[in-house]
Amino acid sequence: MFYLINKKNVIALFAGLMFASVPMINVFADKTDDYENAPQPVHPMDGVYAINQDGKNVSNSSQSTSANSDANVIITKGYLTLDAVPDLSFGIVGQGGSGNNTTLKLAGNNSMIDDNGNQDGLLRVTDSRDAKNSSDLDGYKVTAKLGNFNKIGSNDSSSQSNWTLNLNQPSDISNANNRNVVSFINASLVSGGNSSQTVMKTTTASTGTTSAYYKNANNASLNLSNNVDPGKYAAPITWTLTPGTATANDSDSKQQ
């Protein structure tokens, strides 16, 4: 029966329960002490802005009112910072399948472990180093390394060390206050691997803030083995920001 209740019916059911309690209110209607001592609602005149049913402002006699809020921004100089790194989720897949491996496209940005990742799919770097005063400043590179996939909530110490995370070109790349070129590089990260791969780089300092999103299906994929034990699996991705220009893994790059 409960599976047939739609949203409108649920609201009606709740209202019916509220009406069923009305007779109980009448029992205490004459106890004025209870009413006077009870917490009273905030008067509409105490709000920031109050309009009556005729559409007139009644907050004060001048028929106008004002309130203050703020707009803010942080501007930096002389720093190179890794501002955000993404969590990557590849959804749910059935055990088995044809062949030895299955490839899943990116399904979202949920997280299974406690880490620094965000659920927006955002990778962002801010470079506010003053290249004018330091003409010999190099750019920077962001590398990524994939740890082993471990089964969440299990005492089993076995892990999956042969799965591959493919980071393709991200989406919605933008540069705020950008004066130099930033490149994004396709990378294939093998779980449990000992080496890092460059995914983002620039050759010159003072590039402003560069943002990119790994949130669409084609931005990343995961190749995993079939016939592993059912369960939830997660692996840490270590993102490293380093001053200096990348000299390897520069194929399949896209400049922004």
* pLDDT single digits (tens) 149-197: 988 887 766 678 789 999 999 999 998 766 667 899 999 999 988 889 9
Comparing 41 with 124, which gets the higher pLDDT? 124
Task: State the amino acid at position 246 in one-letter form.
Answer: A
Among residues 182, 238, 186, the alpha carbon closest in space to that of 205 is found at 182
In whole angstroms, give the CA distance from residue 139 to residue 129: 10
Q: Which helix (H) or strand (E) holds 10?
A: helix 7-20
Residue ranges of domains in the chain, CATH in brackets: 7-72 (no CATH), 80-255 (2.60.40)
Q: Which helix (H) or strand (E) holds 125?
A: strand 122-127
In whole angstroms, give the CA distance from residue 169 to residue 69: 39
Using a cut of 0.75, tell me whether the model's pTM lies above it.
no
Q: Over the stretch 94-122, which tens digit does the pLDDT of each residue have?
A: 877 556 788 999 999 999 988 999 999 99
| DSSP category for residue 57 | B
Residue 254: is its pLDDT beyond 80? no
H helical segments located in 22-157: 22-27, 32-37
In whole angstroms, give the CA distance from residue 30 to residue 7: 37
Phi-psi region of 3 (alpha: psi -120 to 50; beta: other; left: phi over 0): alpha
Comparing 84 with 57, which gets the higher pLDDT? 84
